[in-house]
Chains A and B, each alone.
Chain A
Amino acid sequence: MRYIEPHAHMVSRITDDYEAMRLAGCVAICEPAFWAGFDRSSAAGFYDYFCQLTDYEPKRAAKFSLPHYSWLCINPKESEDMGLARDVLGLIPEFLQRSNVLGIGEIGLNKNTRNELRILEEHVDLAARYDQLILVHTPHLEDKLKGTNLILDVLRADSRIKPGRVIIDHVEEHTVERVLDAGFWAGITLYPESKATPARAIDMVERAGMKNIWLNCACDWGRSEPLAVPRTAIEMSRRGHSREAIDHLVYGNPLRFLSQNPRFQIP
């Protein structure tokens, strides 16, 4: 089996995870910028983080013959401080030149505040001005439905944004249809407790179709499973899905979306 892991926070994982993912059939990893579990105190902290994502982490992945790509932004959890957020936004254009950067992400909302929404709009504007792909984080648990609706409003309000170049991640049963119906790609995140289990993820795919959906593990410093995508592929096989259908979902779909940026290459 081959698969692409389109959303993993490898800076929080041990090197053994790279090896395990490679052994399970992973052929490329993509890492969006996210919250470190604490608020960084200055834009300089983000500068160092962006260097880690674009320089150090690709070298760590390369030890296992894994291409490593990244997405850049300030996570909505830190965008309440609009001064800091705008300083970080100012850093991003310089890093967009780096060879492993695929776009702007994971932007979005956390608690659905006015400041988060404003910084989301500014990220979308940045992506539009630099013609970048966009990866969107939708809020957790009780905030997801409202946040998804607000995010869709922001994206649809900007006529420069092409829905086919935007993936809205962490969809669940109550948000997947509205994301796909609006023409955007949808990401299903596989987590042990929140978001989706492998069984529910396959349910969603069986009901919504697998045209513009990808699966990801979003493994980070919390409870998460770096091998969640191949485990879900096994679950699909148990349900009787064909090898071709599984390959389409876990390899073909992320390849199709990510290849919109010509930097994305599978060796």
Chain B
Amino acid sequence: MTREQVLDLYFMDARCKLIELAAFLDRVDRSDGEGDFRLQSLRMALPLLSSSEAGRAKAVLEALSDPTLEPIPSANGKGACGAWPGIVSH
């Protein structure tokens, strides 16, 4: 596809998601209390969007991932939340 064709197909969708993200950050700012590692992780990943290098999706996923190598002794629960809690101390 040409760049023009990619824009024709996906620009409105990307625009929508960008505004949703901006609105989410405004919503967080308006709310009371402390944030947690999820917000910290998201803010750390945002500059990756401005990179001039390809592979931005991969870089964002890696930034939100547990980078450690060893299995953990046991699980505290079954679910995942989308960000690594250890980012706070890493």
Contacts and interface: CB of A to CB of B under 8 A. Distances in A.
A113 B66 contact: no
Contacts of A35: 78
Given A146-B67, A199-B10, A200-B57, A174 B81 contact: no
Nearest to A146: B66
Contacts of B84: 142
Residue of B61, B82, B84 with most chain A CB atoms under a 10 A cut-off? B61
Interface of B: 1, 5, 9-10, 13, 55, 57-58, 61-62, 64-69, 71-84
Given A145-B61, A173-B61, 12 more contacts: A114-B72, A115-B74, A142-B65, A142-B80, A142-B81, A142-B84, A143-B66, A146-B69, A172-B61, A194-B82, A200-B57, A240-B5
Nearest to A238: B9
Contacts of B5: 240
Contacts, number: 81
Residue of A111, A115, A172, A240 with most chain B CB atoms under a 10 A cut-off? A111
Closest 8 CB pairs of A and B: A111-B75, A141-B80, A145-B65, A140-B80, A174-B61, A173-B58, A173-B57, A142-B84
A113 B1 CA distance: 44
Interface string A158-180: 00000000000000111000000
Interface residues of A, number: 31
A242 B84 CA distance: 40
A114 B71 CA distance: 5
A174 B65 contact: yes
Contact of A110 (B55, B78, B82): B78
A15 interface: no
Interface string A229-240: 000000000111
A149 interface: yes
A83 to B, nearest CB: 15
A113 B71 contact: yes
Nearest to A197: B13
A200 B60 CA distance: 13
